[in-house]
Structures are given as structure tokens and as C-alpha cells.
């Protein structure tokens, strides 16, 4: 899977939409707003999947 900084991704278990802010050694740093504050966490690349950006542009 190919993920780049600024891509939207979701966690395979949680499904929270996040923005990729950094990538290093198979780890992906993401940020998202949880309704109260901006959260930041790092995940293994295989825990995430990209959000289909073509669908976002069409809606």
C-alpha cells in the first residue's frame, strides 16, 4: 500500500478518518479531531487503509 503525507486514511478496526502527517520506517503518524481536541498517534502502516479520494471529490 502506498500512503503519502496529507493523505486521508482510516484505521482498520476503529474506522476514524485521519490525516497522515508523517511516515518513517513503516510507521505512520496521523492526526484527527475527536470532537474535543486534535489527537495524534502513530500506527503501523498495515493497520491503515487509504480513503478513496475520488469519492470525496465527487460528493
Q: Answer yes or no: are the C-beta atoms of 45 and 26 closer than 8 Å.
A: yes
pLDDT reading at 58 higher than 80? no
Q: Which residue, 36, 39, 35, is CA-closest to 18?
A: 39
pLDDT of res. 52: 76
CATH architecture label of 8-58: Roll (2.30)
Query: pLDDT tens across 28-57, in order?
Result: 999 999 999 999 999 999 999 999 765 444
pLDDT average, residue stretch 4-31:
93
pLDDT of res. 1: 63
pLDDT reading at 26 higher than 50? yes
pLDDT of res. 42: 96
Amino acid at each position: 500500500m502506498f500512503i503519502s503525507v496529507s493523505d486521508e486514511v482510516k484505521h482498520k478496526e476503529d474506522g476514524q478518518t485521519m490525516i497522515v502527517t508523517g511516515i518513517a520506517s513503516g510507521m505512520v503518524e496521523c492526526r484527527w479531531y475527536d470532537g474535543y481536541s486534535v489527537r495524534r498517534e502513530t500506527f503501523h502502516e498495515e493497520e491503515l487503509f487509504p480513503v478513496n479520494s475520488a469519492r470525496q471529490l465527487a460528493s
